[in-house]
Chains A and B, each alone.
Chain A
């Protein structure tokens, strides 16, 4: 079902992130070797490195693309406590002839006093906005008031999370019914169990982000967090990479029922929890329709998860990182959700509703 195409990345240290652009034709990688590389897909489907440059003076943790409406723009964040915005320069030069493109730094965001662990552009309909989170537990939201001027960013919000942050995810919903929302995960390793996922929502009245929810059941360090693309759904799906893969649904309780002005209340259900990686899970990523979740863990495998029509999530494929043959169907049997057996007390705390049900 899958064909593995191995790419000689030629990064001199670990690669920490890969990211496709809006159209899926370009890819950016970032590495501890302090560089970012941009890859373009040729007609034949091969990936060619068209740019590679030193971006930071520390490990680059994340790289992410802006919506192409704003140009060919990347943001990166690093151990060196900064985040940076990069733009590709179009023009005739020697680089062009060699098939190389030129990227210039448009801004450096230096507000953090510790390692900046994640950076994400806000959904396009919010304008040109950027959120960063850092190891000191602060989420910062920047905005470029003039989308034509990428060198001017103003710090709009600072949200204190009290815990060292490792990852953030914007709620991608374009619905007017959903106010801007951002989920933050923490990889704080301290033994005292605290909820590691917090969700903040923008309040139109106070013009501030306020905590809407805390996922109390997630107490292990969270390495990655991802809202599923919201294609007209009324609820939100959130995937979390911690010691296992977890999928939550957040269903907004109708506004009329809550006191107006306050944060939206959510009915939160855990719909899936898988420890098949049998190790730390590092990354989760949704497909474009938000129907398939890919996760990768310390076992070096990528696993694909999909819900059937009964909303039961199942493993639909396993990909070995080195491109060795994929044993999709044979693994099916072993992929019983650990739900229920592992977490009997968990569901009680979640509004008393059982997991794996429909959202109706």
Chain B
């Protein structure tokens, strides 16, 4: 509270001072009204009727108007109004339909003056004439409005709205004889007080009940109405037909609306359910409230500006049994808190940016940040009533697009599409990928591929025979290689190299450990696998390998872990023929003349690499124990992959992982690999590189990944005889017990490519159907359908 400001307003001699404050009432309030001296407020409710004086620091209870031991229904107030000319005169609307006037000047404790029991149901609203001392108007649930002259015992005239209940009645401030009334059916009526027979004008203002209305204090033609449809509408009543000037959309049904004094376009609203806040709107900016008071914990039922010429004090009563004085200066301002900018990075490096126009237009909108810690957030601009309205705030939206080739993600797409990941010898893959990277100007990546080639493959220049001979004198061969590696690749001095260097030290012990274990395991296999050699592979691959040969057709290999399929497997032979095997073992197998490697062993390796990782390990190890073993580098390679991943280039990490296969896989824990795979696949899918993504999925050895493209692909097939859906079992229909996929031409069961017409579902062997349809356009099954083969 201490931060709340204090406002003093000079108003023609008298001064208004005060602060934001509240006081507890004994019971929920239904309505409040302010005395014309702006120093007292009356609060009325079902079981409360009290007058409080508004002191500087607090509310002080001055008078309790509920007197007598037996509470009377007449005291259960739905509305209260304080006469704006006579400080002693009040009127209340009772829930039992009685209109009561109160004279504070009476000497007795009971201030009740007059009782009008004319309405049959709850009186929703009472209203004094703004200039006539004795005229009181009431509107009731029974659909009637009554005008009372306080000098008489009964009503002067009765106005029938000819409809459901009256929710509000308000005398026009300038037009002496006019008042407006609002109805539960959404209508607003305008009456001349002298003509009770029919209304002057009627129009539908809202969809659903109109709960409240308020005449503009200055512009006599303006009427604000609020309804259950959550809208506040401002009508110009001067024209022949009521014209909607403004429409404010609030977030809950509008129970009360009050124009703000001295601010032409401001009005305050509160709701009767859900929303406990009071909002002040500028009707010209109908979407964002200019101010918001959040003090109440339950529905606000009554609002009143404290003084008809002071815009900064608002009083409110609430169902939470409290009475509040709100200072406009202490209001929260959603406009100020609202985020004025939107920013989003696009996939291709483009940026969408939306900003408040005043911020981007010129320097004028700039609000420099001052180091003030007390109000760090918003430089609360006091809503100055006299300030000219800048019109609706609007935003400028623009998209900054990357010029092609200037760091957009084009390189990623190119790289993904052009990298070769499998199907050729390692050396070739590395060379190819290095070339791709170099062409895209990514020299560090290119260098890395070259390094990998040097590490894991003997240089292509070294003939295989030469290599085989060098077994046993490893150090002599390994050292020069190491040197060349250093010279060539350390010079760029880029992050990865320095990093690798540094890591070498820490991980040396690990390497040794791995080394020893590896030799332990591989000792027994050494003899067998010695003959298998990458160099030969390389030559072999060189002879046959073209760049586009990424897939090897291998009809013999069916996936061993084939799950239960909906269709007979023969229906999709293509799918299973594209089996790509990790590069290493596949070439072992190709080399049929190798006497040492049994075909079945290699086969097993290619099908279930994880199980036979040890034997694979031995393959590579056996090759290189002549020189520095690749295991020596594996830690470096692992760290390099990690480095690339941490730098955001998961593409490189995954590509290397796939290309090197078993050579590095064992060094990286499964979870990390899986993380890389999922990240890369996600990225590929963002760029709609479905083919690459699918290739990566297939090449991955992680079970969680490789099952990705086996999920959620279901083919629903109907039997060609009974047209019923086929069960998951084979090619025999459950219902008609016939073979479903019979060839319509040769009447044999099709156990290969089955082609069928989507119109009549007849089909057969691809060859037969093609031949048939060359000569005839009718279905070979004789169903009369005109089939098309395209």
Contact = CB atoms under 8 A, between A and B. Distances in A.
Interface string A70-91: 0000000001110000000000
B764 to A, nearest CB: 35
Contacts of B617: none
Contact of A359 (B356, B406, B646): B646
Interface residues of A, number: 96
A299 B402 contact: no
B403 A3 contact: yes
A156 to B, nearest CB: 23
B674 A175 contact: yes
Interface string A2-32: 1111111101111111111011100101111
Contact of B356 (A14, A47, A191, A320): A14
A275 interface: yes
A85 B674 CA distance: 32
B394 interface: yes
Given A13-B393, A18-B344, A57-B249, A3 B401 contact: yes
B679 A1 contact: no
Given A13-B287, A175-B675, A321 B396 contact: yes
A20 B683 CA distance: 15
Nearest to A166: B339
Nearest to A59: B288
B688 interface: yes
Contacts of B642: 234
Interface residues of B, number: 88
Contacts of B682: 124, 174
Contact of B351 (A8, A14, A79, A294): A294
A13 B342 contact: no
Interface string A177-197: 100000000010101010000
Contacts of A223: 339
Contacts of A27: 344, 352, 399
A235 interface: yes
Nearest to A309: B495
Contact of A29 (B354, B503, B671, B678): B354
A70 to B, nearest CB: 13
Interface string A23-50: 1100101111110000000000101000
Most chain A Cβ neighbours within 10 Å, of B3, B356, B369, B373: B369
B400 A4 contact: yes
Given A296-B355, A302-B353, A221 B377 contact: yes
Given A6-B397, A23-B688, A278-B368, A32 B338 contact: yes
Interface stretch (B145-153, B168-176, B648-656, B722-730): B648-656
B296 to A, nearest CB: 13
Interface string B367-409: 1110001111110000000000000111111111111001101
Interface stretch (B220-228, B358-366, B618-626): B358-366
B648 A231 contact: yes
Contacts of A32: 287-288, 338, 393
Contacts of A61: 338-339
Interface string A284-299: 1111111110111111
A15 B398 CA distance: 12
B503 to A, nearest CB: 8
A1 B679 CA distance: 28
Contacts of A176: 671, 674-675
A125 B369 CA distance: 41
A14 B650 contact: no
B565 interface: no
B343 A279 contact: no
Given A1-B403, A7-B399, A174 B366 contact: no
Interface in B472-513: 494-495, 499, 503
Interface in B622-666: 642, 645-650, 653-654
A20 B352 contact: yes
Given A7-B398, A32-B393, A288-B683, 8 more contacts: A1-B407, A4-B399, A15-B397, A57-B250, A59-B334, A175-B675, A243-B369, A277-B369
21 contacts: A5-B401, A18-B342, A32-B287, A47-B399, A57-B249, A57-B250, A173-B675, A174-B682, A177-B672, A187-B337, A232-B653, A234-B642, A243-B369, A279-B367, A280-B367, A284-B343, A287-B345, A291-B648, A299-B366, A300-B365, A319-B351
Interface of A: 1-9, 11-20, 22-24, 27, 29-34, 45, 47, 57-59, 61, 79-81, 115, 124-125, 173-177, 187, 189, 191, 193, 220-221, 223-224, 229-235, 243, 275, 277-280, 282-292, 294-300, 302, 309-310, 319-323, 358-360
Pairs of residues from A and B, 4 with the lowest C-beta to C-beta distance, nearest first: A24-B347, A321-B360, A175-B675, A309-B495
Interface of B: 3, 230, 249-251, 274-275, 285, 287-288, 334, 337-356, 359-361, 365-369, 373-378, 392-403, 406-407, 409, 412, 494-495, 499, 503, 642, 645-650, 653-654, 671-672, 674-676, 678-680, 682-683, 685-688
